[in-house]
Amino acid sequence: MSRSHTLSPATLEATKLLGAGVRLGRRQRHWTVAELAERVGVSETTMLKVEHGDPGVRLGIAFEAAALVGLPLFDEDRSRRALEAARIEGRLAVLPERVRRPREVDDDF
């Protein structure tokens, strides 16, 4: 049984923007939906879902389609992406590995 998730308007807007960017890149390369789908390794139906911003499509598939059509998702310079990844890893290193909720303290005497 699948659960439906309520997504924020910002998330839905972002998936639509990503899909539109993929569609634009595909058309600029004069590729059909079938050609891009074949390059990504998915069905035409899945590729149409990417282009329409369906948030249920696997993230890796959407990112692969974006990469193939030249849609920059992060900095295009690989070394800058590596620096950003290292910066994030550095910040994660100083934070606790697990997040725990504080216990309720019963201080009623």
pLDDT by 10s per residue, the chain, length 109:
456 779 999 999 999 999 999 999 999 999 999 999 999 999 999 999 999 999 999 999 999 999 999 998 887 788 888 898 899 899 989 988 888 888 887 777 6
Q: What is the pTM of this model?
A: 0.77
pLDDT value, residue 84: 87
Residue in this structure with the two tokens 């069905």, named with its chain if needed: 43
pLDDT value, residue 2: 57
pLDDT value, residue 3: 61
pLDDT value, residue 92: 87
Contact (Cβ atoms closer than 8 angstroms) between residue 42 and residue 61: yes
Residue 66 lies in a domain: yes
Total domains in the fold of the chain: 1
Alpha carbons 61 and 72: distance in angstroms, whole number: 15
Categorise residue 24: left if φ over 0, alpha if ψ from -120 to 50, beta otherwise. alpha
Domain containing residue 14: 9-73
- Tokens for 33, please give them: 């939906």
Alpha carbons 46 and 61: distance in angstroms, whole number: 9
Alpha carbons 37 and 17: distance in angstroms, whole number: 19
Residue 25 lies in a domain: yes
pLDDT value, residue 1: 45
Count CB-CB contacts under 10 A for residue 48. 15
Residue 90 lies in a domain: no
